[in-house]
Amino acid sequence: MIQIINYLVKGVIKLLYLPYKKLEIKTDLSTGELKKKIEENIEINMLKGSFFYDSDKKFKGTIIDNHFFISRIIKYKNSFLPIVDGVIHPDNSGSTIKITMRLNKFVLVFGVLWIGLMLINFLNPEFESLIIFAIFIFAYLLCMVLFNIEVKKASTLFENLINN
């Protein structure tokens, strides 16, 4: 019984976080080689919409010195598409890329405000609390699942870009 309770508590704690992911990728490439490879594989001056975009590049964004901000190029709208914020560090045997993936700031602020309003309504005795709580849980899980799906796609594409 105690093991089940510990498992449930750990599961709940894991769920209580914002859509955010940190990665570290080690490579044999030098910092200069890695930066060049990233520059060659991201679209720098891309317009906002990418519906008619036709190229083999998978990411759009900017790279300044050893710091880059990119996101995956998609032909549809997705509010949960992660922003990839990476920094290239020299290493003894090559380079290390420290990556943080997060939601667009506007989407995050909107989500926090929306969930905050849901919580205020949840505390209001005039509303049906169970329905409000169910909507809150559904919205949170929807955000986390869709964000993590996009994180896996972006991670795989970026690692393939680095390793090929």
Q: Is 73 domain-assigned?
A: yes
Query: Residue 53's domain is classified under what CATH number?
Result: 3.30.310
Alpha-carbon gap, residue 115 to 135, rounded angstroms: 9
Q: Is 93 domain-assigned?
A: yes
Of 78, 76, 48, 52, the closest CA to residue 60 belongs to 48
**Residue 126, Cβ density class (10 Å: 0-12 exposed, 13-18 middle, ≥19 buried):** exposed
Q: Is 142 domain-assigned?
A: yes
pTM, two decimal places: 0.77
Q: Is 15 domain-assigned?
A: no
Residue 13 above 50 pLDDT?
no
Q: Is 14 domain-assigned?
A: no
What is the tens place of the pLDDT at every residue in 109-153? 887 788 777 777 767 766 666 777 777 788 888 888 999 999 999
Q: Is 1 domain-assigned?
A: no
Q: Is 3 domain-assigned?
A: no
Q: How many structural domains is the chain composed of?
A: 1
Full residue range of the structural domain in which residue 128 is found: 20-163
Q: Is 12 domain-assigned?
A: no
